[in-house]
Chain A
Amino acid sequence: MDMTKAEIMLDDSCFERLDDSEKNTEFIAMESKTYLRDAWDCFKKNRLALGGLMFLLFMILMAVLVPIVSPYTYDAQNLDMRNAAPSMKHLLGTDKLGRDILVRLMFGARISLMVGFVAAFLNLIIGVVYGGISGYIGGKTDMIMMRVIDCIYSIPSMLYVILIMMVFGSNIGSVLLGICVSSWIGMARQVRTQVQTLKQQEFALAAFVLGASHFRILFKHLILNCMGPIIVSTTLMVPEAIFTESFLAFIGIGISLPQASWGTLASEARSVIQSYPLQIVWPVLAICLTVLSLNFIGDGVGEALDPKNR
């Protein structure tokens, strides 16, 4: 500041009137950033979340490539090579039927990740639509819709899974259905509360006065504005679904052999845990690291989308 003071000479030309065009009216210094860009900038600063994202992408890439590139298939048995230790031929060794663990693990990754993402996606759709409608309409409709949710919630989710498996057989579809039957409820409740508060906000009233349809108000104005928490819960739903699926597979309710998810692999390795403990380490490690990184991503996304951080 002092520098400029010294430099400016006070001659008469300085005292000429400033033209209106020389004035900087309605000037905005803030850089214009879209919402997603802003969130991404914030997400990038979170090292753990970024690391989690890297690991997840790596895992997806491996799940896609390894079974294609590898000379082995997930179900080809080689009884000469049973329970082999890791070597150049079999990077992670083989299991009790001589199948390559790496290929089986990555094949399992396909199933586990797919279950995770599809379940989260289904939860998102059902939960947002159900919760959104319930919260927006309110009154008696809301009360009835919420009691329905309470009824669904009152039955243990394991029971649904077992029943569904019995009716539809053990395939990936019934696993998904079993996980989804009751897990969307949390999402629906969350969206309902959000919509209830947001619909009182002036921008929602403004949309109503401007003649917007209820569909438009709900989905364009209200849901769009609670996208932050919705995305966070969806991200956190993925590891939850993976975990549930693994648990089901581990206790023997899951997709049918020889296909294998991480849970099935862990369950198989359990029988040889005394002599070949390494075999159980791989699937457990895969589950842990994936779930952990997804949780980190969830936290990172939550922080990035939190309006308080801006």
Chain B
Amino acid sequence: MSLLDVKNLCVDFNTDQGTVHAVRDISFTVGESESVGIVGESGSGKSVSMYAVMGLLASNGAIRGGSISYGGEEITETAFANHKAYEARMSRLRGNEMSMIFQDPMTFLNPVLKIGSQITEVIRNHNKVSDAEARARAITLMGQVGIPSPERRLNQYPHEFSGGMRQRIIIAIALANHPRLVIADEPTTALDVTIQAQVLDVIKEMKEKLSSSVIMITHDLGVVASFCDRIIIMYGGKIVETGSAREIFYEPKHPYTAGLLKCVHNPEKKEKLTPIAGSPPDLLMPPAGCPFVDRCPDAMKICKLKMPEMEQYSKTHQSACWLSEAARRKGEQHG
């Protein structure tokens, strides 16, 4: 059984300009101790879908349909008697069973509280432990994520830490209660490459130690290539392709995935960059068909009218594109 099972999830946001359909009918699963990468551009719905899972949507956003189940338990708000019951359950889960690593540590850390008290708070929220015990655990955690001399740094404030160190603290807080599911929302985007490499190593190491599942939200294909077992590609609020890292990088089926791979420069291969023309769709008025139609080099008439179904290529590899159907028809005509 999978740890997280999301079915037909839809998320809308109300704005001055109208309703933004940020996530439109996505389904995916995450297994035990699996690492999954969700890749997409800004506005593709990758972060929103995960915030919806955590029950952390902004006040103008709401889940409009679908279901989310965690470890077999339904955690969609509609499955609870009322909002209060839902919130009560979610706050038991959040930070304990599932937790999140945020992109910007400074917005997450309280600037006027000492680092130590911020870590022990998370531990004591979910466990009945003494002050000293929580403190000891915090020190071990800080050591584990690679913060030098944790006893001393426990008494410092967030602004006394560098960006990379703050991100390590966020990781320590997220992992304090040994969660089964960790969602990392662009954890290294704000960091420099050498620091990014360090932070990714820490996440990887901790994941192995705790055998948790990790969902890595990112726009950087380089990050998921070395980190994730399975990759989900999102575009325009929809999942367009999922597959193992090798399937995605070496046999992409969806033109968006293929295009994305041609957009990143690999200095080891001297290839010319081929950008994807145009801009991402405006989700105030999402297209009826495939969201990628306006930028796709191989777009067909049908693509504008109807969203293609997910097609299975292997046990792990799925993609939603009309091109395979077109190829099949051509084959029939010739045969």
- The interface of chain A, by Cβ under 8 A from chain B, is 1, 4-5, 8, 10, 12-18, 22-31, 309-310
Contacts and interface: CB of A to CB of B under 8 A. Distances in A.
Nearest to B282: A29
B305 A4 contact: yes
Contact of B325 (A15, A16, A25, A309): A15
Contact of B329 (A12, A25, A309): A12
A307 to B, nearest CB: 12
A33 B277 CA distance: 27
B301 A18 contact: yes
Contacts of A24: 287, 294
Contact of B16 (A1, A17, A29, A310): A310
A279 B25 CA distance: 70
Would you call the interface of chain A mostly helix, strand, loop, or mixed? Answer: loop
A25 B279 contact: yes
B322 A23 contact: no
Among A16, A18, A25, the most chain B Cβ lie within 10 Å of the Cβ of A18
| A-B residue pairs, 5 tightest by C-beta | A29-B282, A14-B302, A25-B278, A18-B299, A15-B326
B288 interface: yes
Contact of A5 (B279, B300, B306): B306
Contact of B298 (A17, A29, A309): A17
A123 to B, nearest CB: 32
A72 B299 CA distance: 81
Contacts of B299: 17-18, 23
A34 to B, nearest CB: 15
Size category of the binding interface on chain B? 20 to 34
B191 interface: no
B294 A25 contact: yes
Given A25-B279, A30-B282, A17 B294 contact: no
Nearest to B302: A14
Contacts, number: 66
Contacts of A25: 277-279, 294-295
A24 B294 CA distance: 5
Contact of B282 (A12, A15, A16, A27): A27
A28 B333 CA distance: 40
A214 B278 CA distance: 37
Contacts of A31: 17
A267 to B, nearest CB: 48
B306 A27 contact: no
Nearest to B281: A27
Interface in B279-296: 279, 281-282, 284-285, 287-288, 293-295
19 contacts: A1-B288, A5-B306, A8-B305, A8-B306, A14-B302, A15-B322, A15-B329, A16-B300, A17-B298, A17-B300, A22-B304, A23-B278, A23-B294, A23-B299, A25-B278, A27-B279, A29-B282, A30-B17, A31-B17
Nearest to A12: B329
B11 interface: no
Contact of B294 (A10, A27, A30): A27
Contacts of A5: 306
Contacts of A4: 288, 305-306
B306 A16 contact: no
Nearest to B286: A29
A30 B306 contact: no
A18 B282 contact: no
Contacts of A1: 288, 307
Contacts of B305: 4, 8, 14
Contacts of A27: 279, 281-282, 294
